[in-house]
Amino acid sequence: MLKKIFPTLGRFRFAIQLLMLLFTVYGSALIGHYAAEKVSNTLPALSCAFDKQNGAYCVLVPLQHQMHHRIGEALVQGQQVFNTVVLPLFFLLLSFFTFFVVLNKAFCGWICPLGTMQELLFRLGRRFNRPFHRLKETQAHKARPVKWLMLLVLVLGLPLLAGMGIAPDQVGDPFCQVCPSRLATTLLTADTEQIAVRTGHPINFALGALGNALFGFILIAALAARQPFCRICPLLSLNAAFQKLSPMRLSKQPHEKCEKCGICTKACPMDIHEIWKKSGHKAFNEDCTLCGRCAEYCPDDGVIQIKFFGLPLFKSSRDYYKARVKSETPEGMPKGKVIWLKPADTKLKAE
């Protein structure tokens, strides 16, 4: 007598297994290669791709393929991107942070070569008794937006548009093409190449000619006015943008004598009237280069201070002031020096 077949779950499962074995090994012979490929997209079958009659490709095949050809290669490219883009960007940001946040305005007053050269020229102008021009309060205020314009147009805007292909390539580095520091520092190394104007393209020619004219103007202007280029320098505006974040700052306490004094503004190479008329954070103006002259020439103890992380690095003091004015007036006139162009005058009028 035939044994009765009892439909257990185990038998049902085994039947499915057999069917799937047939399908995964011979499936494409039954349903066609095209349909088998479609099934492969949804069925994670351990069905060997080397079996030419299978009904589903093993998911591990494309997975290995993706790891090998896509992800692995992308990581290599990524590593190249890391080495060539991310790392340099990191160091750029680090130096950017050091200069713009930690040093901030102190870069201008203590490190910038063009700032130093302008100061030297001004001293030379005093020696030759050149006329002394200073900006009035309204003039200083009117000049302030120019440095922001220089930053937005010459340093950020035009190079970005050139990179996007909207503006011509020749305006990829427009600030460098007009920068007086490029000419001044290279000429100091006896390299005259930079003074030559590029004639290959009208834009380069125009910018080069403008740069040379600006350089000449600054050389002459610096003999009679303090820091002429600094007033429009895009680096000053970049520093001003980070001024509030910087631990390096100028601090001024309100003082009753200030109203009738104003020596700090006379001493300021950037003609900042706020250092005299205001106090607190308003006295630390966007044009300040942290040169410290206002603190040197303030005749009252501790009214003006240069601070780093809140710690005073330098404080105004009466004793220091008395000693300082013996060698130089707040406006920068040397005292007790012979004027070269007028040997008959042995002392400056300012004395």
Residues at the interface with ligand SF4 (CB under 6 A): 108, 112, 114-115, 227, 229-230, 233, 235-236, 250, 252, 255, 257-258, 261-264, 267-270, 272, 275-276, 288-294, 298, 300, 303-304
Give the three-class secondary structure for 315: strand
Cβ atoms < 10 Å from Cβ of 243: 20
Q: Which amino acid is at 133?
A: H
Q: How far is it, in rounded angstroms, from Cα 5 to Cα 20?
A: 22
User: Residue 264 Cβ, how far from ligand SF4 at the closest point, in Å?
Assistant: 3
Q: Which of 267, 216, 225, 215 is nearest to 126 (CA)?
A: 225
Q: Which is nearer to ligand SF4, 43 or 232 (CB)?
A: 232
Hey, is 155 helix, strand or coil? helix
- Please, what is the minimum distance in Å from the beta carbon of residue 204 to ligand SF4? 23
Q: Quick check: helix, strand or coil at residue 175?
A: helix
Give the residue with the Cβ less far from ligand SF4, 121 or 294: 294
Query: Helix crossing, 202-224 with 180-188: angle to 10°?
Result: 80
Task: Please say whether the beta carbons of 54 and 21 come within 8 A.
Answer: no
> Residue 193 or 256: which CB sits closer to ligand SF4?
256
Query: C-beta of 168: minimal distance to ligand SF4 in Å?
Result: 27
CB of 166 to ligand SF4, least distance (A): 28
Nearer to ligand SF4, 36 or 283 (CB): 283
Residue 142 CB, nearest approach to ligand SF4 (Å) = 17
Please, what is the minimum distance in Å from the beta carbon of residue 79 to ligand SF4?
37
Tokens 């314009």 — which residue? 149
Q: How far is the CB of 251 from ligand SF4 (least distance, A)?
A: 11
- Sign of the C-alpha dihedral computed for residues 213, 219, 220 and 224 taken in this order: positive
- The minimum distance between CB 235 and ligand SF4, in angstroms, equals 4
Instruction: Select 171 or 238, whichever has its Cβ closest to ligand SF4.
Output: 238
**From residue 210, how far is each of 197, 213, 216, 284, 334 by CA, in Å?**
10, 5, 10, 33, 34
Burial grade of 300 (CB within 10 A; 0-12, 13-18, 19 or more)? middle
Q: 24 vs 104, which CB is nearer to ligand SF4?
A: 104
E strand or H helix at 181: helix 180-188
Exposure class string for 175-204: b at 16+ Cβ within 10 A, else e: bebbbbbbbbeeeeeeeeebeeeeeeeebb
Calpha distance 56→39 (Å, rounded) = 6
Report the residue number whose CB is nearest to ligand SF4: 115
Nearer to ligand SF4, 82 or 110 (CB): 110
How far is Cα 36 from Cα 259, in angstroms, rounded to an integer? 92
Which of 171/304 has CB closer to ligand SF4? 304
